[in-house]
């Protein structure tokens, strides 16, 4: 019997090794799997686009009770009393002033409702009485001058008012408040009438009169508001000559009275934003 001769082990290994065919097999397998995936996706179809519910979004300024651009906003000082010149309905609708209140808002209120603040009430009564008699051509201006000196003196001890007191003045003569406000009040009633200043009511969602229209003294003092109330929302573009009916002497009292007007108004519980470093 002839014996079978086996090839060497190394020869057997070389014969059974696929050599360069192994990578080719792996590539083919990957292509087959990719093709299967495409077919499966085609058979199952594309899923529907999902849109998550993002809610109603932020409300508009008017809907949230914030004065819209171009309107004048106001708020109540915490625990303060309603100024007699301010509309009672508007006062009830206003929100309290806080750290988030826009700086351009008017701050309303005087004294404190949670304390027996007789001094604040006496000061308020004195200012109102001076305004009631200020329109008198006989001695109205003298009473206004006396009232303003008292307001300036008392304001120095009030942190809220002290910064509004004019410490150094270039005025050489006393201001004629009576002539100024009598002239502007006449123009206000003849040309425009009604309320000299409207603000945004957060409850009514519209502009309403800031003042109690039955308080004649408030309308007299604020008849020059469009000329004297220089803020980013009040008095823009108004001519003082027009407010004074083109009376030169009346117009000359505007620059004289402006610092005192701001202080008197804030003492009445209607504080316009102060100007700081040229920024309102």
Q: pLDDT tens string for the chain (280 positions)? A: 455 555 554 444 444 444 445 555 665 665 666 666 656 555 555 555 666 666 655 555 555 668 888 888 999 999 999 999 999 999 999 999 999 898 889 999 998 887 667 888 888 888 888 888 888 888 888 989 998 888 888 888 888 888 888 765 666 788 899 999 999 888 888 766 678 888 999 999 899 999 888 888 778 888 887 777 654 444 444 567 888 888 989 988 888 888 888 888 899 999 988 765 444 4
- Say if residues 151 and 267 touch (Cβ distance below 8 Å): yes
- Say if residues 86 and 77 touch (Cβ distance below 8 Å): no
Tokens representing residue 138 in the block? 């006989």
Q: CA neighbours within 13 Å on the CB side: how many for 211?
A: 20
The length of the chain in residues reads 280
Beta bridge partners of 271: 107
DSSP 184-212: HHHHIIIII-S-S-EEEETTTTEEEESB-
Of 265, 262, 264, 267, nearest to 280 (Cα)? Answer: 262
pTM value is: 0.69
């Amino acid at each position: 019997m002839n014996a079978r001769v086996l090839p060497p082990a190394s020869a057997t290994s070389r014969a059974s090794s696929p050599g360069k065919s192994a990578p080719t097999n792996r590539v083919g397998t990957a292509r087959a799997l990719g093709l299967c995936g495409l077919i499966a996706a085609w058979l199952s179809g594309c899923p529907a686009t999902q849109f998550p519910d993002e809610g109603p979004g932020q409300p508009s300024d008017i809907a949230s009770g914030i004065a819209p651009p171009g309107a004048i906003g106001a708020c109540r000082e915490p625990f303060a009393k309603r100024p007699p010149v301010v509309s009672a309905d508007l006062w009830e609708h206003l929100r309290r002033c806080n750290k988030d209140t826009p700086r351009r808002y008017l701050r309303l209120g005087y004294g404190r409702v949670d304390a027996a603040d007789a001094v604040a009430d006496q000061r308020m009564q004195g200012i109102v009485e001076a305004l009631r008699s200020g329109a008198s051509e006989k001695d109205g201006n003298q009473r206004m001058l006396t009232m303003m000196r008292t307001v300036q003196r008392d304001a120095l001890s009030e942190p809220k008012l002290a910064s509004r007191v004019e410490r150094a003045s270039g005025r050489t003569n006393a201001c004629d408040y009576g002539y100024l406000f009598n002239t502007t009040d006449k123009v206000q009633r003849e040309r425009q009438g009604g309320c000299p200043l409207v603000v945004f009511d957060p409850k009514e969602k519209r502009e309403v009169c800031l003042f109690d229209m039955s308080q004649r003294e408030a309308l007299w003092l604020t008849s020059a508001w469009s000329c004297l109330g220089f803020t980013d929302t009040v008095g823009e573009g108004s001519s003082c000559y027009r407010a004074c009916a083109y009376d030169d002497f009346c117009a000359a009292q505007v620059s004289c009275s402006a610092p005192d007007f701001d202080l008197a108004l804030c003492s009445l519980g209607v504080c316009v934003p102060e100007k700081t470093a040229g920024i309102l």
